[in-house]
Amino acid sequence: MVFCRNLSLFIVIICILISFKNQRARRLSTTDNSSISINISPFSIHPVSLSSKNFEMIDYGTISSPLEYDFYRDSCPKAQQIVRQVVENLHQLRPDMAPSLLRLIFHDCFIQGCDASVLLDSSDQIVSEKESPPNSSLRGFDFIELIKSKIEEVCPGVVSCADILVLAARESVAMAGGPYYPVYTGRRDSTTAFPEHATAELPSPHDHLSELLGAFGSRGFDEREAVSLLGAHSIGEIHCKFFENRLYNFAGTNEPDPSLDPGFLDLLRTRCKNTHSTFSSYGSGSLSSTLSPPPSNASSTEEPGMPMNYDGSAFGTQYYQSLLQGKGILYADQQLMASEETENWVRAYASDISLFRRDFALAMIKLSDLQVLTAPMGQIRRNCSKVA
């Protein structure tokens, strides 16, 4: 066990974490001998074979964790391969998967740690976090259940839902063109949910900078890490009702937010007509957290919105450049320009995509390790929405 832990740390120190060399997470053409093919019915898509990744080496220094690298190497050695393949297959059919899973991991880890509590349905003993207003528009639960079912077929009762969520989020970030980073595993699942904490503690898209940094700071994230994590806003779509007040009636003035670029204001108004809706922080279809916007279902036209990467830019690029130009869609995003320190990091990431990818990966590793449960605490659920 000591040897395995030392080996895990050694692997990380010598740069096992890495990112794809291009925005589309290109794979090498050589196929790994241990590749597997999974047919993820009921979805009508072709299975793909797993292969080695095209890596660029980045030095991430010493990363401490209560977990282990490749925790399931003996008990379920194909677990990560299964996660990767299902995510790859789903991404072909549902490109909104990445923002969905980014949102899920944030809403899980930010509330009492990465324990899959956000996945639990309500029961006689549990009030689900899904019923909390900030979580009302969460998506991606079906993705996690599908991955879990495939792993259960191979290794029943072994791999936790908390680990599946973290691994799936990592793979979806890579599929969206973001960095590929190492994930420690060995988490256990919670036996309860925390809806009151979710309602009170998840950041709002209308937060001032002090509130935003306070929420991240209480979880151990400094300004640099908070700014890098908000780069998740490079993908997804934000519904109009959660920034419409900036376009027509900012702070009750019946005028637009003066910090908005005038040309961008006109563009947003073409997407979001003035409905004179009452200001609200949460609600159906809302963006309840500033980490990742609610993805729009490709088949749904029930509510208009604005895509974060409206110019088709790469993961992380347009988000920071838009803030420098007064083109942040959410008020909380544009607030990153309200202090010298956060503005400096916005400028750094806008001009150095490699720095952003490195820092975003490190912040995601840290987020994924928040307050985890390890044996003998918690449990391994057989169904992610129900306590075992």
Nearest by Cα to 4 from 266, 227, 186: 186
* Residue type for position 294: P
- The Cα–Cα gap between 109 and 117 comes to 9
- Give, rounded to a whole angstrom, the gap between the first and last alpha carbons of the chain: 28
Nearest by Cα to 306 from 256, 205, 237: 237
- The Cα–Cα gap between 17 and 183 comes to 9
CB 76 within 8 A of CB 153: no
Catalytic residues: 107
Environment class of residue 357 by beta-carbon count within 10 Å: exposed (0-12), middle (13-18) or buried (19+)?
A: buried
Q: Strand pairing partners for 185?
A: 68
* Strand, helix or coil for residue 82: helix
* Strand, helix or coil for residue 64: coil
- The Cα–Cα gap between 223 and 373 comes to 26
Structure tokens at 318: 């347009």
- The Cα–Cα gap between 23 and 3 comes to 36
Instruction: Indicate left, alpha or beta for 51 from its phi (over 0: left) and psi (-120 to 50: alpha).
Output: beta
- The Cα–Cα gap between 133 and 191 comes to 21
- The Cα–Cα gap between 36 and 292 comes to 31
- The Cα–Cα gap between 241 and 317 comes to 25
* Residue type for position 159: V
Nearest by Cα to 208 from 346, 334, 351: 334
Q: Strand pairing partners for 56?
A: 19
Nearest by Cα to 287 from 297, 296, 275: 296
Structure tokens at 143: 């993705």
